[in-house]
Amino acid sequence: MHEYSSRGSTRRAAPSRAPKPAPELRWQILDDLTAARDDWGLKDRTLQVLRALLSFLPRGETTGFVVFPSNRTLSERLLGMPESTLRRHLAVLRDAGLIARRDSPNRKRFRVGRNADLTFGLDLTPLFAAAHHLRQAARQAADRRARVTQLRARIRDRMARADLSDTRRDTLRGTLRRKLDEAALTDLLATLPPETDVADSENGRHIQTSSRLRKPTNDLNVAQDALEEVAGMVNRPLHTPRDVERAGELAALALGVRDAFAVARHRNGAIWATMALAHVHRRLPRLRDPDRYLHALVARAATGGFDLMASLSRPAPPLTFAPRP
């Protein structure tokens, strides 16, 4: 509503704070499909092609889902993707049942009349019809990733506490650098000595401690193991300092410690912050709030109350399955 002054000029009333609009359905669907892409066998570039197709839908469209850009137009929107590559990704989307073709007699894509229903092109209706299924698949994928993260943490924990030969330990480290699914990690965990209960760990603690004291800790190896652990979590190689920082950012998202990681990186640098993620990862099954835990570690480190290298060189405390209070 406008208010008018005596001079006839118009002054706008202070805008009211509107609720934040929900994301458009098409982008929600794309996000869900991205989260569950392994189930559909889709690669990043195929999803980029799908994003480009969705961008041709009019904003707020809820009925007509046929788009008709030419391959050249699509290629330009995809920053010059070769048309041969584009056709291959379109075929993948079609074979996955996410799009359908509505071909004209000459296989051109066009619409007859501005408001006509006769449109030849790429039909995104199957994608929108699968919206509910994709939401469920995205949730299942998130649960699966959480289980994989916990399995990796348990494997690292057992490796740290078990009496393994150097060859066996190196083999396990190499295996963990690969992208393994839940079944493969479960099988790998079964090959390691079982976790001892609390009483057994008390009896063996002196022997384990003495063994560690006989092997001087090499900080370089400890740091390398920690960084490789984080790289394995996100399946990214580490070649440059930027690779380390990017792997840390992705791992922080996976662990739910994004805010604490940003604080750790600001105070202690990207290398320290990324190695701290390995410390959190090894204790993840025991943590109620990983983000708060990492915040506390950063605060303790600032006052000298926490030594990250010393902590990484020690195994995580044994799991206890007593119910939480």
Residues sharing a CB contact under 8 Å with residue 192, sequence separation 6 or more, in sequence order: 155, 158, 159, 162
Instruction: Supply the DSSP string of 10-43, one letter for each residue.
Output: EEEPPPP-PPPPPPPHHHHHHHHHHHTHHHHT--
pLDDT above 90 as % of the chain: 12
> CA 287 to CA 303: how far, in whole Å?
23
Closest to 317 measured CA to CA, from 238, 205, 149, 239: 205
Angle 229-296-205 from CA coordinates, rounded to 5°: 60
Supply the pLDDT for residue 63.
53
Please, which pLDDT band fits residue 113 given cuts at 50, 70 and 90? low
pLDDT digits 0-9 by tens, 12-51 = 444 444 444 445 788 899 999 998 888 888 999 999 999 9
The two three-digit tokens of residue 78, written as one number: 């995809």
Q: Contact, 246 vs 111, CB < 8 A? A: no
Concatenated DSSP letters for 197-261?
A: -HHHHHHHHHHHHHHHHHS---HHHHHHHHHHHHHHHHT----SHHHHHHHHHHHHHHHT-HHHH
Q: What is the pLDDT of residue 102?
A: 76
What pLDDT was estimated at residue 49? 93
Task: Give the span between the Cα atoms of 123 and 64, in whole angstroms.
Answer: 9
Give the pTM.
0.53
Tens of pLDDT, residue by residue over 172-225, are: 888 888 888 888 888 888 888 875 533 344 344 443 443 443 344 456 777 888
With tokens 């008390």, the residue in question is: 202
> In whole angstroms, what is the distance from residue 169 CA to residue 162 CA?
10
Assign residue 200 a region: left if phi > 0, alpha if psi is -120 to 50, beta otherwise? alpha
The position carrying tokens 């839908």 is 57
**What is the average pLDDT score of the chain?**
76
Of the listed ranges 10-14, 30-34, 100-104, 252-256, the one predicted with least confidence = 10-14
Q: Which of 284 and 319 is assigned the larger pLDDT?
A: 284
Angle between helices 241-255 and 219-234 (to 10 degrees): 60
How far is 66 from 53, CA to CA, in rounded Å? 9
d(CA 74, CA 83): 9
> Which of the given ranges, 56-70, 101-115, 236-250, 285-299, has the highest pLDDT on average?
285-299
Pick from 29, 320, 83, 66: nearest CA to 200: 320
Torsional sign, CA 178, 97, 123, 107: positive
| CA–CA distance, 4 with 184 (Å, rounded to integer) | 72
> Per-residue pLDDT tens for 85-96?
999 999 999 999
